[in-house]
Amino acid sequence: MQITKYIFPVHGDDRGQLVALENFHEVPFEIKRVYYMYDTVAGVTRGYHAHKSLEQILICVHGSCKIRLDNGQEKETVLLDKPYEGLYVSNVMWREMYDFSPDAVLLVLASELYDEKDYIRNYDDFLHYIHETEGGNRQ
């Protein structure tokens, strides 16, 4: 499976660091929504779903967490622990987020507004969806 991790330019100077993200420049889609999770309870795994259309970039802007990606054929685990790294998560990709450090802040840039109809929350339905769409945009 191809994993796309963006290393964003850091505008650092003697005051500290700054990362700027713009539509279609550092981020390959128009950002329509931003959300973030923090104070994640120790031992919790979030996610357990895929999206039919949504594309996202996940950035652990503080602390660390792991992301398990599954395209229905292969699984990969990615560690996010740098505020200047972004993990691209395509549509039709099962994701689980876990191993959050107590100080983790996971920021997500999303290509679409929130839409519960875009979620596939059952793993068998996910495999069926891939089969029905002849692989979708699998990577």
Query: Token pair of 118, please?
Result: 């875009």
Residues 108, 109, 120, 130: which binds ligand T46 (CB under 6 A)? 108
Residues 47, 61, 82, 83: which binds ligand T46 (CB under 6 A)? 47
Cβ burial, residue 106 (10 Å; 0-12/13-18/19+):
buried
C-alpha dist (Å) from residue 82 to 1, 54, 133: 22, 23, 35
Residues 21, 31, 46, 129: which binds ligand T46 (CB under 6 A)? 46
Residues 8, 55, 56, 136: which binds ligand T46 (CB under 6 A)? 56
The answer to whether 46 and 40 have CB atoms below 8 angstroms apart is yes
**Strands in the chain per DSSP E:** 4-7, 33-37, 46-51, 56-62, 65-70, 75-80, 85-89, 94-98, 105-110, 119-120
Binding to ligand T46 by residue 66, rule CB under 6 A? no
Binding to ligand T46 by residue 105, rule CB under 6 A? no
* Interface stretch with ligand T46, choices 9-17, 20-28, 29-37, 75-83 (CB under 6 A): 29-37
Site string for ligand T46, 75-104 (x = CB under 6 A): --------------------x-x-------
Binding to ligand T46 by residue 33, rule CB under 6 A? yes
Is residue 49 part of the annotated active site? The answer reads yes
Question: Which active-site residues does the annotation give?
Answer: 49
